[in-house]
Amino acid sequence: MSEPGALAFMRRLREGLDSGLELPEALGRGAVALPGEARDTLEHVLRRLEGDNEDDEWGFDEDFADLVEPFFGFLYDRWWRVKVEGAHRVPAHGRVLLVSNHAGILPWDATMISVALLREHPLPRHPRFLVLNWAFDLPWISAFIRKVGGVVASPYNALRLLEQDHLVAVFPEGVKGTGKPFAERYRLQRFGRGGFVEIALRAGAPIVPVAVVGSEEIYPKLGDLPAVARALGAPFFPVTPTFPWLGPLGAVPLPSKWRIEFCEPIATAHYGPDAASDRGLVLELTDQVRETVQQAVYANLVRRGAAFV
């Protein structure tokens, strides 16, 4: 998919939406502008949105996730030119908790971590994500997120997924990370109260710190419109150089250059599940993970060089 193709697609999608079509139909119209392969994929996806499918108790639909992969693959290869380090450090089997920094308003970083693991890991598997709660109150988005492996950010969900030996990704900065202004980029926010460490301890899952560089530049957040956010029930309403000025086009992320580093796993099984109630240990591990991610972010920032070229 060439970049002019992508632009033509977005333009036609916009026209379709403006003329009052439903989103799926508008996507179908827009697809005419795409090259054959991408068009096939998109049509396949639209068919499957209505067709029968197999999924697990969480609503994760592996076929669906594989079908939308080419779209994220395009972003991964061409748009953000992602470089990955240390994917082999993620254990290939059993329960694992990935802990990453979080930025960029929409959860693109989660999707890129997923593609990175599927592409670079010797034994790839689909990670599951804990997704910000308010997304599950939104039409389409809630259904889509579930199909690709997202679950409500609840400690009960994280624990159950780990007990089922899944690969689980969490973003402890939460909305503090996605909603911070551009000037504070790459400075990690507080990692909650360490709830993710408690869960890892209780499940005996190793923690793999993940540093993502590049996600901070995709939507440089210049300001915030709290009144609009309140009206929409959203945690914040960002103002970026393109949003909301260009309408839906403003949601197209800028093509920054990305690096993702998976750090050495931190074992937790030897502490035993009772250690989850040891506040001192939990805070200590939380700080250790946060510090690891922060250092890896700085190191990769230097290695990446210029943000966009």
Contacting positions for other proteins (CB under 8 A): 50, 52-53, 55-59, 133-134, 136-143, 146, 151-152, 154, 156-157, 160
Minimum CB distance to other proteins, residue 271 (Å): 24
Reduced to 3 states (helix: H, G, I; strand: E, B; else coil), residue 103 is coil
Provide the 8-state DSSP code for 95. Answer: -
In total, the chain counts a number of residues equal to 309
Residue 41: its H or E element: helix 36-50
Nearer to other proteins, 44 or 81 (CB): 44
Q: Which is nearer to other proteins, 6 or 151 (CB)?
A: 151
What is the DSSP code (8-state) at residue 51? S
At 8 the three-state DSSP class reads helix
Angle (CA) 257 260 266, round 5°: 165
Which residue, 163 or 264, has its beta carbon nearer to other proteins? 163
| Closest distance of CB 218 from other proteins, Å | 25
Nearer Cβ to other proteins (61/216): 61
Q: SS3 for 241? A: coil
Nearer to other proteins by Cβ, of 48 and 304: the residue is 48
Q: How far is the CB of 227 from other proteins (least distance, A)?
A: 21
- CB atoms < 10 A from the CB of 53, how many? 12
Cβ proximity to other proteins, 74 vs 136, nearer residue: 136
Q: Closest distance between other proteins and the C-beta of residue 156, in Å? A: 4
Helix %, strand %, coil % of the chain (to 5): 50, 10, 35
Q: Are 104 and 79 in contact (CB under 8 A)?
A: no
Question: Quick one: 56 or 165, whose CB is closer to other proteins?
Answer: 56
| Nearest distance in Å: CB 133, other proteins | 4
On the 0-12 / 13-18 / 19+ scale of CB atoms within 10 A, 36 is exposed
Rg of the chain on CA atoms, in Å: 19
Shortest reach from residue 254's CB to other proteins, in Å: 28
Question: Which two three-digit tokens encode residue 143?
Answer: 């259904």
**Least CB distance to other proteins at residue 199 (A):** 12
* Cα separation, 309 vs 304, whole angstroms: 10
